[in-house]
Amino acid sequence: MTKAQRKKDPKTDEYVLKKSKRRCCLCFGLNCDSREKKGQIAHLDRDPANSKPDNLAFLCLDHHDEYDSGTSQSR
C-alpha cells in the first residue's frame, strides 16, 4: 500500500457516505450547496493510515483535488 492509498473499509465508507448524503462538506459550508455530488472520501489529517470515521469527510472531486494539493500549515 502506497502512502497515497488508504486501507478500504466498506462499512466505514458506507457510514461516511450515508452521513454526508454525498454532499461535499466544503460546498455546503461555504456556499450552502446541498446537492449530491460525485466525490471521494478525504482524510482530514492527511494521514491515510488514520481511517477513523471522525477523520474522514466526503469532498466533491474539485475540493478533494484542491485539498490534496494544498500545503499543510502548522502553528
pLDDT tens digit sequence for 13-70:
999 999 999 999 999 999 999 999 999 999 999 999 999 999 999 999 999 999 999 7
Give the pTM. Answer: 0.80
Higher pLDDT, 10 or 4: 10
| Beta carbons within 10 angstroms of residue 33's beta carbon | 13
**pLDDT-derived band of residue 1, with 50, 70 and 90 as boundaries?**
very low
CA distances from 26 to 3, 34, 58, 72, 73 (A): 24, 10, 9, 17, 18
Residue 67 burial (10 A CB sphere; 0-12, 13-18, 19+): middle
Q: What's the mean per-residue pLDDT of the chain?
A: 89
- Residue 68's φ and ψ, nearest 5 degrees, are -70, -30
d(CA 75, CA 66): 21
Question: Letter for the amino acid at 59?
Answer: L
Asked whether the predicted pLDDT for residue 75 surpasses 50, the reply is: no
